[in-house]
């Protein structure tokens, strides 16, 4: 990774005069994400929001588009010949005001309505969204507390379940040329039993990674979540971001390319947006799987990814993805630094030692109410095998298909999403286990890894300004290894350990079937302060080991401030 750090220094030294306005990015799990989806679908013909498959969102671009849509909705701007004005409900208008308030550094209009009526000690909460804010000509700074406390009860146990998180987040800009952001959160947690089982088996907390037992109990975790980055614009159409955080590529609840479900990582990201094209380069430093017994220096592996998306029309966006994970410990393959080359070609010229993947994604906004989206991910693909031997292990690919429906059935602010994900056995795995598609004992893409079929249904309803109802149902089946036989569901295993060449169907092995249903009701007490009630039912059955079946009922209540909602969604 030293070459990437040197590259950053070189750019900063050579191109400082070309740097223009630069933004930070929305935090993971921001409440604005759902509203941005609604705006994109309802507007339908907005070209900038059509690049929303790359997350997190750039605050600057989001505010620019939101202000335009707000002006059209209020009749202040003519949408143009042949274009219809967008209709925003009262709840949408409230969400619009909240989005602009929480990203006020890029708002071009007056900020008077963002101010608090009763600031604390004339210094804190002078604006409704931020504990402490400085907004002058050449400097912006927003500092906020991060807090989440919840307590819960799980069926069949008298032990209380809890999550306690405390921290700080800040973001800022210097002379509108350099953006910076950091978040630090200290956590203690005892989650539901199935969650604790995952932590123990993977030796990592989902989404965070490293942890220590809290009070010497294996079912309690003490962990720290620290993230941060700098960003600047190196040319008129090229943004650069360098830091330690997460990224997401896709339009669905899950992603088969790159997900933010796992641990953060060191990365360098170049994003080029011009004409109808958006091109992203992502270079990452990762950790291969490990068993940690004492303080030690973990080895490294690396990944490089490209994603090119194009607005074919103002309502249709298509994208091409390619990625490669390097199977050489502590050594970067310099050939992959080329930002505009086909990775499979580089991988082939150096002897084909690495784990290369390619993919295609599509998104279509239809009738100002629907969005159709999907992904096709190819790990290994031999057409003759697919035709003549469809159960052969070498048929390694995944498919995603989904639909979003806003203001469903004519009911304002009722949004429905349906999604299907299917990934063949042995996908994401590799003969060199360092090069599998993982980071810090967790998958880089879908949390279930491979050898699974998943169906997701999501209902989001905001019947009034501050009340949010979120219902989610996840059903999946996944094939697990049985009696030591590798059935392709464990992406950490070397795929050469398979016992046979074909006969692999999705769900082969010890078939795990899970139904995970959740109902969450949240009330926003004040900006970014939520009181929440959650009910969750999870049933898990194993075809070959019924003694391991689990039925879990989990109820919790809590308060959350400026932080994503913790989800036990697998």
Delimit the domains of the chain by residue range: 2-561
Share of the chain above pLDDT 90, in %: 74
Per residue in 150-179, pLDDT (tens digit) is: 999 999 888 899 999 999 999 999 998 899
Closest CA to 551 of 507, 496, 513, 503: 513
Cα 342 to its chain centre, rounded Å, is 25
Residue 346 pLDDT exceeds 70: no
With respect to CATH, is domain 2-561 assigned 2.40.160.10? yes
Which H or E run includes 73? helix 59-73
| Residues 319 and 309 sit within 8 Å (Cβ to Cβ) | yes
What pLDDT does residue 420 have? 98
Taken as a whole, the chain contains a residue count of 570
| Torsion angle in degrees (nearest 10) through CA of 288, 289, 294, 295 | 20
| Residues 26 and 66 sit within 8 Å (Cβ to Cβ) | no
First to last CA, the chain: 32
Tokens of 126: 């002078």
* Residue 224, number of CB atoms within 10 A of its CB: 14
Average pLDDT, the chain: 90
Which H or E run includes 510? strand 510-526
Helices (H), 313-437: 343-349, 383-388
Distance CA 225, CA 232 (A): 24
* Coil, strand or helix at 382: coil
What Rg, from alpha-carbon coordinates, does the chain have?
24
| Residues 328 and 334 sit within 8 Å (Cβ to Cβ) | no
Distance CA 66, CA 235 (A): 24
541 conformational bin, left if phi > 0, alpha if psi -120 to 50, beta if neither:
beta
What pLDDT does residue 432 have? 87
Distance CA 362, CA 257 (A): 13
| Residues 453 and 476 sit within 8 Å (Cβ to Cβ) | yes
List, in sequence order, every residue forming a beta bridge with 370; answer none if it has no partner.
366, 405
Residue 190 pLDDT exceeds 70: yes
Query: What mean pLDDT do residues 202-229 have?
Result: 93
Band of pLDDT at residue 340, cut at 50, 70 and 90: low
Band of pLDDT at residue 297, cut at 50, 70 and 90: confident
* Residue 145, number of CB atoms within 10 A of its CB: 15
Query: 169 — phi, psi (to 5°)?
Result: -130, 140
List, in sequence order, every residue forming a beta bridge with 515; answer none if it has no partner.
475, 539
Q: At what angle do helices 32-43 and 59-73 cross, to 10 degrees?
A: 50
Closest CA to 360 of 401, 412, 410, 389: 401
The residue written with tokens 């969102």 in the block is 57
Per residue in 358-369, pLDDT (tens digit) is: 999 999 999 999
Residue 13 pLDDT exceeds 50: no
Per residue in 110-161, pLDDT (tens digit) is: 788 899 988 998 899 999 999 999 999 899 999 999 999 999 999 988 889 9
Residue 3 pLDDT exceeds 70: no
Closest CA to 340 of 269, 280, 284, 285: 280
Tokens of 420: 């299907």
Closest CA to 191 of 210, 209, 212, 206: 206
Distance CA 111, CA 109 (A): 7
Distance CA 465, CA 70 (A): 17
Per residue in 82-104, pLDDT (tens digit) is: 566 788 999 999 999 999 999 99
Q: At what angle do helices 59-73 and 90-101 cross, to 10 degrees?
A: 150
Per residue in 391-439, pLDDT (tens digit) is: 999 999 999 999 999 999 999 999 999 999 999 999 999 998 889 999 9
Residue 353 pLDDT exceeds 90: no
Residue 383 pLDDT exceeds 90: no
Distance CA 421, CA 419 (A): 7
Query: What mean pLDDT do residues 517-529 have?
Result: 97
What pLDDT does residue 349 have? 53
Q: What is the DSSP letter of 38?
A: H
What pLDDT does residue 348 have? 54
Query: What mean pLDDT do residues 36-44 have?
Result: 92
Q: Which long-range contacts (CB under 8 A, 24 or more apart) does 105-109 make?
A: 105/59, 105/135, 105/140, 105/142, 105/173, 106/23, 106/59, 106/60, 106/63, 106/64, 107/63, 107/67, 108/67, 109/67
Closest CA to 140 of 108, 169, 178, 111: 178
Per residue in 459-510, pLDDT (tens digit) is: 999 999 999 999 999 999 999 999 999 999 999 999 999 989 999 999 999 9
| Residues 21 and 138 sit within 8 Å (Cβ to Cβ) | no
How many Cα atoms within 13 Å fall on the side-chain side of residue 141? 6
Distance CA 303, CA 257 (A): 12
What pLDDT does residue 48 have? 73
Q: Is 459 exposed, middle or buried (0-12, 13-18, 19+ CB in 10 A)?
A: middle
Distances (CA, A) of 23 to 47, 181, 398: 19, 10, 34
| Residues 443 and 491 sit within 8 Å (Cβ to Cβ) | yes
537 conformational bin, left if phi > 0, alpha if psi -120 to 50, beta if neither:
beta
């Amino acid at each position: 990774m030293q070459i990437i750090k040197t590259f950053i220094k070189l750019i900063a030294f050579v191109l400082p005069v070309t740097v223009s306005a630069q933004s930070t990015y929305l935090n993971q799990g921001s409440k604005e994400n759902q509203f941005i989806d609604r705006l994109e679908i309802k507007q339908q013909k907005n070209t900038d929001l059509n690049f929303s498959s790359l997350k997190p969102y750039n605050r600057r671009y989001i505010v620019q588009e939101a202000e335009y849509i707000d002006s059209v909705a209020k009749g202040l701007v003519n949408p143009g010949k042949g274009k219809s004005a967008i209709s925003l409900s009262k709840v949408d208008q409230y969400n619009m005001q909240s989005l602009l308030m929480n990203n006020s550094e890029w708002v071009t209009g007056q900020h008077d309505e963002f101010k608090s009526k009763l600031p604390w000690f004339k210094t804190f909460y002078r604006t409704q969204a931020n504990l402490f804010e400085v907004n002058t000509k050449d400097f912006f700074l927003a500092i906020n507390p991060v807090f989440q406390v919840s307590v819960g009860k799980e069926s069949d146990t008298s032990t209380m379940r809890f999550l306690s998180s405390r921290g700080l987040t800040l973001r800022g800009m210097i002379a509108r040329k350099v953006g910076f952001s950091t978040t630090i959160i200290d956590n203690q947690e005892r989650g539901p039993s199935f969650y604790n089982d995952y932590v123990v088996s993977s030796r990592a907390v989902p989404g965070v990674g490293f942890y220590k037992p809290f009070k010497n109990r294996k079912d309690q975790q003490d962990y720290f979540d620290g993230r941060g980055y700098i960003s600047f614009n190196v040319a008129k159409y090229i943004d650069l971001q360098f830091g330690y955080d997460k990224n997401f590529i896709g339009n669905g609840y899950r992603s088969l390319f790159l997900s933010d479900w796992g641990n953060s990582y060191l990365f360098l990201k170049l994003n080029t947006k011009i004409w109808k094209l958006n091109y992203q380069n992502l270079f990452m430093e990762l950790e291969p799987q490990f068993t940690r017994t004492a303080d030690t220096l973990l080895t490294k592996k690396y990944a490089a990814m490209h994603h090119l998306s194009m607005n074919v029309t103002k309502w249709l966006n298509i994208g091409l993805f390619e990625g490669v994970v390097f199977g050489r410990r502590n050594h970067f393959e310099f050939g992959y630094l080329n930002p505009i080359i086909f990775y499979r070609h580089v991988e082939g010229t150096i002897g084909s030692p690495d784990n290369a993947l390619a993919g295609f994604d599509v998104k279509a906004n239809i009738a100002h109410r629907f969005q159709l989206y999907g992904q096709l991910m190819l790990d290994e693909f031999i057409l003759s095998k697919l035709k003549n031997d469809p159960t052969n292990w070498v048929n390694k690919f995944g498919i995603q298909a989904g639909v979003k429906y806003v203001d469903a059935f004519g009911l304002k602010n009722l949004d429905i999403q349906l999604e299907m994900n299917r990934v063949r056995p042995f996908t994401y795995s590799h003969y060199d286990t360092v090069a599998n598609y993982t980071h810090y004992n967790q998958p880089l893409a879908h949390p279930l890894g491979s050898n699974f079929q998943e169906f997701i249904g999501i209902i989001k309803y905001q019947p009034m300004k501050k009340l949010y109802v979120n219902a989610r149902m996840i059903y999946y089946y996944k094939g697990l290894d049985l009696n030591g036989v590798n059935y392709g569901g464990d992406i950490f295993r070397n795929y050469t350990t398979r016992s046979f060449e074909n006969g692999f169907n999705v769900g082969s092995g010890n078939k795990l079937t899970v139904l995970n249903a959740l109902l969450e009701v949240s009330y926003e007490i004040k900006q970014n302060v939520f009181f929440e009630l959650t009910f969750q039912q999870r049933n898990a059955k194993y075809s070959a080991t019924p003694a391991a079946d689990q039925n879990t009922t989990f109820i919790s209540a809590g308060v959350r401030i400026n932080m994503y909602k913790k989800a036990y969604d697998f």
